[in-house]
Amino acid sequence: MKIKNIILGLTFIVGFVSCESLDVEPQGFYSDKNFYKTIEDAEASMLYAYDGLTSVSYAPVTYYITELSSDNCIVKPDEGADAQAFVNWEVNSQNALLSQYYRSIYIAINRANAVIENVEGKGFNPEDEKRLLGEALFLRAFNHFNAVRAFGLAPLQKSLIDKLNETTAFLPENMEEAYAFLIEDLTRAIDYLQVNRVTGRVDKVAAQALLAKVYLFAASAKESGVPKYDTILESADGLYAKAAEYAGYVLNSQGEYSHDLDLQNIYNVNEPNGPEHIFILSFDRSGTQEGDYSKLSKYFTPWLGGATVYLKNVDDTFSPTHDGWSVFQTTDDLYTSYESTDKRRNELLVSEIFDESGATIGTTADGFIPYAFTRKYIDPLFEGDKTSTRPYLIRYSDIQLVYAEATANNEGLIQYNQIRNRAGVSELADLGGLSKADFRELVIDERQRELAYEGDRLWDLRRKNIVQQEVIQAAGLSPEVVAFYPIPQREIDLNPNIN
């Protein structure tokens, strides 16, 4: 009987004592239970947020949206219908490229929010905390700015999403709310960050530069009567002044970044830490998958027979490159916008290719090269399809032109002329006879030539409300249609808070 009692007792002990341990610790992967314990964790998480920008669904897709829809590029004829839709201004809510872009924006935002939530007030060294917070706030604003420029009123994700009931975000009430959020994040980022250049990451200067661009977008959009921008409370002039103020900090209050006088050097893939690169995305050809390495060269370069071809450099040396897929093809509009002496046409657009010995293989004139293609994304050390070519996210010259446009005064004229001077085209002697609006139009034209293929043209056309005027395929469309792409259908289907 004793034995029986003991066994009975044991049975129940074995059975019921340990019931509380149904929680199994996750093994072999990271989760909220075992991560964000150290500064190294936070650092890795910060880089995960940057890494979001390198996604195949994000970095290359940017150019479908910004270059194809503008007057800069058309797409190769046998590219899919979703790509053709950008050229033809027939993008609808089902467009897969647009959906990828939208989704990629929010993936990057969630990663930034993860840093913000797990670093702020978690007891890290204050210096590290500020630096990481600043970078994360910058990235949250950078991605939201993409969303606002592409989709207008798009959800603002202010916190990390890790529950089902957090997956149905509301739209901001109006542009005032959206911009206030962008401005707040960037203001805090500027406050938290120091000037500290690391290729592929951002510092205080990048935050100032981005804030200047945000203000400029709002200023010009409000001024040009872009739909929905009338809700922004601040006056256009006030916004221009703010843009000028922050662009001014970039130009005058730091010594790390500067105007690069050597045009080809700006786009030297081996000099990602050149003077111009306030924010450049990081890729390296030693990566194992696309997203670690880049194939941007393949998108912009035409198919040239499959073999290695050589491009002639300014110093008469030659740089080899693979050929490409002819996806983004230069329009005549863009090509003819350059004066014949413009170095940006003569040194950065390729109209003649050579073999290893320097003999000409073909030219655009003889039709061997189907279109003059950009050499902004050329990697002479390419390995197969793998290159280190990087998107230029914020360039010093961009901010010079932001300043010129925002001030539209003699200070601005100096910056404007510096850009033209480097390109080997005539300077504008003075602003005599030009209204502010006239000068700003000149700056917009200059931006097209200077920032061609860099993913900015559509935004300029939109904020100046001149899409229909500049892009033949958009002629006659309503201001709302050209100002914003539709929110992707899956978002509308699955998010009851958006309709």
Site for another protein in 181-200 (CB under 8 A): 198-200
DSSP state, residue 172: P
Stretch binding another protein (CB under 8 A), from 19-27, 331-339, 353-361, 370-378? 19-27
Residues 197-226 that bind another protein (CB under 8 A): 198-201
194 or 336: CB nearest another protein: 194
191 or 493: CB nearest another protein: 493
What does the DSSP assignment read for 388-443? ----EEEEHHHHHHHHHHHH-SHHHHHHHHHHHHHHT-PPP---TT--HHHHHHHH
How many C-alpha atoms does 47 have within 13 Å on its Cβ side?
11
Strands (DSSP E) contained in 444-489 are none
Q: Does 166 bind another protein (CB under 8 A)?
A: yes
Q: How far is the CB of 273 from another protein (least distance, A)?
A: 10
Residues 6+ apart with CB under 8 A from 377: 267, 294, 296, 297, 299, 300, 301, 387, 389, 453
Place of tokens 């990602």: 272
Q: How far is the CB of 288 from another protein (least distance, A)?
A: 8
Q: Are the CB atoms for 163 and 151 separated by under 8 Å?
A: no
Q: How far is the CB of 32 from another protein (least distance, A)?
A: 5
Q: Does 336 bind another protein (CB under 8 A)?
A: no
106 or 403: CB nearest another protein: 106
157 or 337: CB nearest another protein: 157
Q: At what angle do helices 204-224 and 175-192 cross, to 10 degrees?
A: 160
Q: Does 78 bind another protein (CB under 8 A)?
A: no
118 or 465: CB nearest another protein: 118
Binding residue (CB under 8 A) for another protein from 88, 93, 96, 227: 96
Six token digits for residue 102: 């939208």
Q: Does 47 bind another protein (CB under 8 A)?
A: yes
Q: Are the CB atoms for 69 and 118 separated by under 8 Å?
A: no
Q: Does 245 bind another protein (CB under 8 A)?
A: no
Q: Are the CB atoms for 228 and 218 separated by under 8 Å?
A: no
Q: Does 23 bind another protein (CB under 8 A)?
A: yes
What is the rounded CA–CA span in Å between residue 118 and residue 35? 9
Q: How far is the CB of 283 from another protein (least distance, A)?
A: 7
**Per-position x/- string for 97-126, each x denoting binding to another protein as judged by CB under 8 A, each - no binding:** --xx-xx--xx-xxx--xx-----------
What is the rounded CA–CA span in Å between residue 401 and residue 414? 10
Binding residue (CB under 8 A) for another protein from 88, 120, 169, 417: 169
DSSP state, residue 152: S
Q: How far is the CB of 211 from another protein (least distance, A)?
A: 24
Q: What share of the chain is helix, strand, coil (3-state, %, to 5)?
A: 50, 10, 40
Residues 264-283 that bind another protein (CB under 8 A): 282-283
Q: Does 38 bind another protein (CB under 8 A)?
A: no
Q: Does 35 bind another protein (CB under 8 A)?
A: yes
Q: Does 146 bind another protein (CB under 8 A)?
A: no
